[in-house]
């Protein structure tokens, strides 16, 4: 007679179920669809995951990609318009201060996005970087979509209050959400903003070199290389978050002697697992 014990999950559709922190020692998941399941910090010693299908569900992937596309389009439009409005502004013009603020903001997002890409999810540094990147990106979006070009603001005080409010809200949300859709949105917005920063730096370097001002041209070229490096890290992090969000997670689980023979693991999260599983 087929085993119907509580630890028998063989050949079942278990998509998106949570087994977080459960005692599943010796459990049988063989042949099951465990895409989107959360096994974080579960006890899985000797568990059987032969022939399982892990990773993301198609529905979740569509949702994540849709969010990413919307954020990319909104951020690219806003950042590109802000940049083009700042191009050609000279230090003698009143709008120069807004150009410097834009340059600094994009650079801050670029640095924060890169830090997000080289730190772990548990790190307080990553939480801070996510908060800073999300808050700054959100402030830029709010500036453009709610107030238009910063150089032509009719009510600067109201704009500043709006930006501060938006930045604080997103900073708090970003600090406590280093994974999930919030992380995806922050990541792709940060990558687009970093691209904008790279564009600005390359434009400045090219301007100096074209006027044969080679010293400043060389210095800005070095900064441009650094900006390109930040962009690559930000893009890599965004792809990682898109492909791993809502995927099967064994984060922090004890999978000693667990059997994953023939399993289709996809982008399964094995970060912080206790001991290694056998294949």
The tens digit of pLDDT for each residue in 74-128 reads 999 999 999 988 877 777 887 788 888 899 999 999 999 999 999 987 789 999 9
Least confidently predicted of 47-56, 176-185, 224-233 = 176-185
pLDDT in tens, 52-67: 999 999 999 999 999 9
Query: Which is more confidently placed, 49 or 178?
Result: 49
pLDDT band at 272 (very low <50, low <70, confident <90, very high): confident
pLDDT of residue 255: 95
CA 249/CA 251 separation, integer angstroms: 5
Residue 254 has pLDDT above 60, yes or no: yes
pLDDT of residue 146: 80
Query: How many Å is the Cα radius of gyration of the chain?
Result: 23
Residue 279 Cα distances to 53, 84, 94, 255, angstroms: 14, 54, 65, 12
CA 37/CA 155 separation, integer angstroms: 49
pLDDT of residue 33: 97
Token duo for residue 261: 């023979």
Arithmetic mean of pLDDT over the chain: 89
pLDDT of residue 267: 87
Percent of the chain having pLDDT more than 90? 70
Please check whether residue 258 is in contact with residue 49, taking contact to mean a CB–CB distance below 8 angstroms.
Answer: yes
pLDDT band at 50 (very low <50, low <70, confident <90, very high): very high
* pTM assigned to the model: 0.86
The average pLDDT across 214-230 equals 95
Which residue do the tokens 């997002």 mark?
109
Token duo for residue 269: 């999260």
pLDDT band at 129 (very low <50, low <70, confident <90, very high): very high
CA 71/CA 19 separation, integer angstroms: 32
């Amino acid at each position: 007679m087929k085993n119907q014990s509580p630890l028998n999950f063989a050949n079942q559709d278990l998509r998106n179920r949570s087994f977080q922190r459960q005692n599943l020692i010796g459990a049988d998941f063989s042949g099951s669809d465990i895409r989107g399941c959360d096994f974080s910090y579960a006890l899985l010693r000797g568990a059987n995951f032969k022939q399982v299908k892990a990773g993301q569900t198609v529905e979740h992937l569509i949702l994540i990609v849709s969010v990413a596309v919307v954020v990319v389009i909104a951020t690219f439009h806003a950042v590109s318009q802000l940049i083009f409005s700042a191009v050609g502004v000279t230090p003698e013009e009143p709008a120069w201060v807004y150009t410097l603020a834009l340059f600094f903001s994009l650079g801050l997002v670029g640095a924060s996005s890169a830090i997000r890409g080289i730190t772990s999810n548990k790190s307080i540094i990553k939480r801070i970087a996510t908060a800073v990147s999300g808050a700054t990106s959100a402030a830029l979006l709010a500036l453009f979509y709610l107030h238009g070009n910063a150089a032509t603001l009719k009510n600067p005080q109201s704009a500043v209050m709006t930006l501060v409010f938006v930045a604080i809200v997103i900073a708090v949300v970003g600090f406590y959400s280093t994974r999930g859709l919030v992380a995806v949105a922050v990541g792709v917005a940060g990558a687009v903003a970093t691209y904008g920063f790279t564009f600005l730096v390359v434009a400045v370097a090219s301007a100096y070199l074209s006027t044969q001002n080679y010293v400043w041209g060389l210095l800005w070229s070095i900064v441009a290389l650094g900006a390109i490096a930040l962009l690559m890290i930000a893009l890599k992090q965004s792809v990682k978050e898109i492909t791993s969000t809502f995927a099967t997670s064994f984060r922090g689980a004890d999978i000693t002697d667990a059997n994953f023979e023939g399993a289709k693991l996809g982008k399964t999260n094995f970060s912080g697992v206790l001991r290694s599983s056998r294949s």
